[in-house]
Amino acid sequence: MLNALERFKYHWNKILSDEKEQFSAVTCLCQDEKGQLVGSPLKTAEALLWQGQIEPIQALFNNCRGKQVKKFIAYLEKHHSCIINYSYYQAEQLCSIG
């Protein structure tokens, strides 16, 4: 996507100013010209999980059919309300994780 930074800026600007302080990072998934995911889905999931972003993780593994993936998604669905943005807590020095 030639205008990826412009898309980031567009979505960032849609966030209300007083809500922006809740963000510690902005991430995305990258695809090549054939629509194939670039990089490791597990590394991407790890980064998203660290930020407490459950929905993008579910979308990342949406087409996977393995037993372990289904168990992982079930875990996320069951515990989504308990999964916090660890990155934010670490950046704010509210805890010493990682």
Low-confidence ranges of the chain (pLDDT < 50): none
Q: Are 76 and 55 in contact (CB under 8 A)?
A: no
CA distances from 21 to 63, 64, 67, 75 (A): 34, 34, 38, 29
Predicted local confidence at residue 98, as pLDDT? 54
- pLDDT at residue 33, as a whole number: 84
* Main-chain dihedrals φ then ψ at residue 31, nearest 5 degrees: -125, 150
Contacts with 69 (C-beta within 8 Å, 6 or more apart), sequence order: 61
Given this model, what pLDDT does residue 41 score?
A: 79
How does pLDDT run across 75-90, given as a tens digit for each residue? 999 998 888 888 887 7
- What is the pLDDT, as a whole number, of residue 44? 83
